[in-house]
Structure 1
């Protein structure tokens, strides 16, 4: 199942004079946002602000926290958000689309399981990332499932990959 969604830069402020530093946050979601303040979203955003002489500071923090801080005007922008995140958090949309992402299921190399419909997820332990928007149907399934695991923190994908590798979850549901 692939759902094409747009990844957006979410701004929660109006650009001020060039002396202000813009604080931008996101969780690590390489190749978009990587641990060493690289990744193509980070680099494109940096270049855009540099072109208008605005300094930037990037922070890698849990995604849910980044959305809350933007809502509270404690940071200026969040990278890699969907229009659903912007609406739910009541943030200002920059109308700048930097890329697309898709949703996919991953299983251990020894598994023969394949996805064809939501019914296939019944009785499966599913790992996903807290705060990510996977579509209304999948979000509902993940919330209702007693065996789903929603990772958070600065490296939730790494956590979920470790769980899958160790056989603690059956399916990893991931945006890429």
Structure 2
């Protein structure tokens, strides 16, 4: 290919620096939160704060509770199964191959409505919320149990430090 464009000098690091990275299928740090098992695959530390990525298995009829992220957008890709998402006051049913985007400051939640465990990919931009899972999720090896209200009440300040605010659940969502 012969491009007739101004190109960086041959000594420019653009030609030799490899700042990208790969995370293998079994890579990441596993954390359990209730009936969710997440592999934190990419952290803000790895991307200079640009984004984070997690790969989750959610047990049937489980998910998270309504909340907002005050500084981060969150996106989801349904890799398997079927989920119900809360987006503000709107409910969205999403299945395998569907993508859901939630801008910062928007009330949201999700629940696996499949009969089997389902896989959900989660993206944050900029990065940040993944550090909550790393610091406060339970380590692999235990069967995930639902977090009781007392656990969430203990975590309110910690969640706030991670730019997350829990919101009351309405009866339509539970």
TM over 0.5: no
- For normalisation by structure 1, the TM-score amounts to 0.23
Please tell me whether Structure 1 or Structure 2 has the larger radius of gyration of its CA atoms: 2
Higher helix share: 1
- For normalisation by structure 2, the TM-score amounts to 0.24
